[in-house]
Structure 1
Amino acid sequence: MLGGTTTQKIGVVAAVLAFLLPLLVDVPGLEPAGERMLSIFLMAIVLFVTEAIPLVATAVLIIFLQVLMLTEQALVPLAEPAATSREFWATLADPVIILFLGGFLLADGAAKYALDRNLAALILTPFRKDARLAMLALILMTAVLSMFMSNTATTATMFAVLLPVLSGLPSAAARTGFALAIPVAANVGGIGTPVGSPPNAIALGALAVQGRTVSFVDWMIATVPLMLLLLLLGWVYLSWRYVPARTPLELNLTTSFVTSPAAIVFYVTAAATVLLWLTEALHGIPSTTVGFLPVVVLLATTVMTGDDLRMLQWPVLWLVAGGIALGHGVGASGLDDWLIGLVDWAAMPGTVLLLVLAGVAVGLGAVISNSAMANLLIPIAIALAGTLGLDLVTVAMVVAVACGLGMFLPVSTPPNAIAYATGTITTAQMVAAGVMIGVVGALLTALALPAYWSWIGL
């Protein structure tokens, strides 16, 4: 914040005022614990939207203030603490955080041993003579990697692979199409697994607080069909708009898989982890426990070291923890019931509510971090679901998926920013692709997915 922009400085002032208001003015119908949580919640909204301080700083500030204001350690004691300090501190090591920790270590290992680049080159090579088919292979490969890796790391990797592909394209339009394909696939691919994006983890953490769990395979069964449909839509649009039929493409990609003992241990560990995730229904080991397997094995065998551990995306993990703590605080303090009571939600049909939630998630997720959007919206959505008798899992997953589809602008997601930085894409081109996929995705998420989930008995 020091030396920040005018907007950031205004954001800090606004956040302080938002924090103080419920503490200085009596809020009708809200107990003291709820008033304190409202002050934290309003402050979080301002800080997440303005990014006056880093998102991870907001997340840890939320946890710290909740301990100091809502627990037995409150500086000004409450007659009845909303929760224990242990509950809020535990969010930093929540099982969902462990799941993401394992996923991040696998992603970093894939980059360390060049597995991601070699797989991408291997997949693209058979399509070297047909640009449209090569784009489809690129989209599918990017999406699959993004299901298990950070979409930021996936995008950076795929652009490293794509550079020789771009030089082999005959027109600027075709280069734009290929450059757009990567962020589209990375963003959409992230909805396909619990470890694909932070909103997914935030939803799982919020559901766990309510005693509801979603297995790794169940999440994939629920979301992969939508993911594939949106990927196909993106490919059809980008091919039609930018890559004429029978466009020639000359590729010169080579594969050179590392075969050192350390690399082989990594390959086996990664394969075993993914296999255990996909067969959770057979062996019964929770996906969160499986997520810790690669951490133990790779560190114990020194395939990955302390230096690798320090390079993990800890800010993302703590951001997810802050979201879990925010949701827990909103529920424990009674703030959720108060917020819901402000509007006659019962007059709104469940389908309309899902449409509104998905629309808000996609729209605001395009201008602020989708993780921040999930942090703010999922606790309220779950509370609404409980009040209106809707299924908690359905509502939480709709919001999480919709948050992942807010990808209209270069600032919407890291993959968009990386793609825009190549200089081959204009903002208008990114908006056109993002709006089409985001709007269609939001409609399908709110209208079709719940019916599909009910049909398959999920």
Structure 2
Amino acid sequence: MAALAALAKKVWSARRMLVLLLAPLALLPVVFALPPKEGRCLFVILLMAVYWCTEALPLSVTALLPIVLFPFLGILPSSKVCPQYFLDTNFLFLSGLIMAGAIEEWNLHRRIALKVLMLVGVQPARLILGMMLTTSFLSMWLSNTASTAMMLPIANAILKSLFSPKETQKDLSRESEESTATAQRSGLHAVPTEMQFLASTEQGGHLEEAEAPLDLPADSQKEEERRRNIWKGFLISIPYSASIGGTATLTGTAPNLILLGQLKSFFPQCDVVNFGSWFIFALPLMLLFLLAGWLWISFLYGGISFRCRRKKKSSLRADAEHQARAVIQEEFQNLGPIKFAEQAVFILFCAFAVLLFSRDPKFIPGWASLFPPGFVSDAVTGVAIVIILFFFPSQRPSFKWWFDFKAPNTQTEPLLTWKKAQETVPWNIILLLGGGFAMAKGCEESGLSAWIGGQLHPLEHVPPVLAVMLITVVIAFFTEFASNTATIIIFLPVLAELAIRLRVHPLYLMIPGTVGCSYAFMLPVSTPPNSIAFASGHLLVKDMVRTGFLMNVMGVLLLSLAMNTWAQSIFQLGTFPDWADIHSTNATELPPTLANDTFRTL
């Protein structure tokens, strides 16, 4: 037994190398089971899927494999593969990341967050709502991970003021040890230094001694449980709202941009998805989901209470809420008066959002109609705005300086330097996007997409409404264990061909798949925001599973509702578009009667 245990430990320590070497051998039969070119392309895609799911190689390194394997295997020449890594979609994402870097550089996001919390109030349910609204808004423009890492220290500081230091030293130590050990075993992301400091000073969960009378042990225990639950509700709401908020804009999360890029690859004539049309569709869905999530988290963790409590306890809680309000105001005052650089970044940020939204909103002519069709894209708009960040001064210009020869001749710093941009932009995500686009191009030109479509005939009789729900459930479950970016890269080509096979609008299946892969709420390892919140030491896996399961269910139902209501008119989902009909000439078409029945179900 000891020898077997030692061998198992060695295998586990070398698991990445074993997957790296054995996966190509295990997938080799795929090459001979399909027609030659399609088989080779499927081999590459499955190999990348295995590497992405197991992280045998870094995700961005796996994304580079098409540059090597597609030319060597005769699938695509390098002249067609390499340009996929720098499509205009990549530059739209890059412009969003650079704008986010400028917002973080001047602490504008922190000022916005604290201002919102001052407005919503300090009662637990209201504070949870404020946290969720603020985090979701920030994650529309910043990365989900950055939004979570910024909001968690604020939440911890507020919680520390709600519960006195003496109370916060005692009770979550057992849960902290268990969750921290689990985090270390799972290789979760490290918590930022500020967050580690706050968590280390707040290891406690039975937060009740100062408030609950000693002669009421039963009431004291209930109050203690309530406080522990409120703490958990605060922390768990932040990563969830970050994942939900990122779906509201095209630049909010990588899967949204992968959808846009693969649409341009599979359906070059499709122009119905842009920043404006996506925002009109996704913002109401995000707000509905946030409301439902807030009600569920507040109910589950005690933020909403339907029972009357003793006057003494209410008075003590009022004192605690007053302290929390004072902490928020103090944090806001510590930021000082708003600086010229903050004002400039805010104005440029507003211009960034408004110009992207109004370029081609579809329901009215956008400003892009002033230019020849196809000349101005969202990437052009985004890059044009962020270029200004690199030369616009961070201090208010003074005309007197030109005439004051004694004034120091120091060079004015711009709003953002290229050095700072290099540090803040996650360049690996750009490569990951490019790998997804290269994969889509290989599927299309190798004929693998058409072959997949031919294998989907058992799904011809599935009602589209049911297909949407099944797709969302499958992808939401799959993304609990794999990167959402890798998940959508794998599934989108299949969804495109399934839509053609069913003779429904491709977006009717591709949009639920894209949004659904961001609905990963059940496990700490599902997303980096979940990992950061879990590693704070106040949550257990069972807390996330219990809360996240219903969050997943609500996400599936709300997404299905959106796809069958307002999305129908925004994306014209009730018809099979001409641009999809052109692509489907190589796929098997359904009989006319079945196609008509399908349209009636929509």
Give TM-score, length-normalised by structure 1.
Answer: 0.91
2:70–2:77 contact (8 Å) kept in structure 1: no
The answer to whether structure 1 residue 286 and structure 2 residue 383 are counterparts is no
The Cα offsets for residues 102-127 of structure 1, whole Å up to 9 and x where unpaired, read as 11111111111000111101110134
Aligned mate of 1:231, from 283, 287, 290 = 290
Offset, 1:306: 2.1
1:83–1:332 contact (8 Å) kept in structure 2: yes
Structure 2: gaps spanning 5 or more residues: 1-10, 164-226, 306-313, 361-365, 369-375, 393-413, 573-602
Q: What residue in structure 2 maps to residue 305 of structure 1? A: 417
How many residues align? The count is: 441
The answer to whether structure 1 residue 112 and structure 2 residue 111 are counterparts is no
The answer to whether structure 1 residue 121 and structure 2 residue 200 are counterparts is no
1:331–1:383 contact (8 Å) kept in structure 2: no
Letter in 2 for 1:184: Y
The Cα offsets for residues 163-187 of structure 1, whole Å up to 9 and x where unpaired, read as 2112133422111100011011001
Aligned mate of 2:351, from 272, 286, 290 = 272
Q: What residue in structure 2 maps to residue 449 of structure 1? A: 563
Q: How far apart, in 1, do the equivalents of 2:44 and 2:502 lie?
A: 26
Offset, 1:97: 0.8
Q: How far apart, in 1, do the equivalents of 2:337 and 2:13 lie?
A: 46
Letter in 2 for 1:27: A
Offset, 1:55: 1.0
Paired residues for 1:160-239 under 5 Å: 160-170=153-163, 171-209=227-265, 210-211=267-268, 212-213=270-271, 214-239=273-298
Q: How far apart, in 1, do the equivalents of 2:60 and 2:50 lie?
A: 14
The Cα offsets for residues 358-411 of structure 1, whole Å up to 9 and x where unpaired, read as 111100011111111001001111122123212122222111000011221000
Paired residues for 1:33-112 under 5 Å: 33-70=37-74, 83-112=76-105
Letter in 2 for 1:207: L
Deviating more after overlay: 266-275 vs 401-410: 266-275
The Cα offsets for residues 248-271 of structure 1, whole Å up to 9 and x where unpaired, read as 532312322675554443232222
For the residue of structure 2 that corresponds to 1:194, the secondary structure is coil
Structure 1: gaps spanning 5 or more residues: 71-81
Q: How far apart, in 1, do the equivalents of 2:503 and 2:336 lie?
A: 53
For the residue of structure 2 that corresponds to 1:300, the secondary structure is coil
The answer to whether structure 1 residue 150 and structure 2 residue 143 are counterparts is yes
Deviating more after overlay: 146-155 vs 446-455: 446-455
Q: How far apart, in 2, do the equivalents of 1:199 and 1:52 lie?
A: 21
Aligned mate of 2:15, from 2, 7, 15 = 7
2:85–2:434 contact (8 Å) kept in structure 1: yes
1:123–1:137 contact (8 Å) kept in structure 2: yes
Aligned mate of 1:321, from 430, 434, 442 = 434
Give TM-score, length-normalised by structure 2.
Answer: 0.70
Offset, 1:349: 2.5
Q: How far apart, in 2, do the equivalents of 1:127 and 1:348 lie?
A: 46
The Cα offsets for residues 30-82 of structure 1, whole Å up to 9 and x where unpaired, read as 2x321221110110121111111111111112333224334xxxxxxxxxxx5
**CA RMSD, Structure 1 to Structure 2 (Å):** 2.1
Letter in 1 for 2:450: D
For the residue of structure 2 that corresponds to 1:237, the secondary structure is helix
Whose Rg is larger?
2
Q: How far apart, in 1, do the equivalents of 2:119 and 2:343 lie?
A: 25
Letter in 1 for 2:565: A
Q: How far apart, in 2, do the equivalents of 1:155 and 1:38 lie?
A: 37
Q: How far apart, in 1, do the equivalents of 2:336 and 2:521 lie?
A: 33
Q: How many percent of aligned residue pairs carry the same amino acid?
A: 28
Letter in 1 for 2:417: T
For the residue of structure 2 that corresponds to 1:347, the secondary structure is coil
Aligned mate of 1:440, from 554, 574, 594 = 554
Q: What residue in structure 2 maps to residue 78 of structure 1? A: none
1:105–1:309 contact (8 Å) kept in structure 2: yes
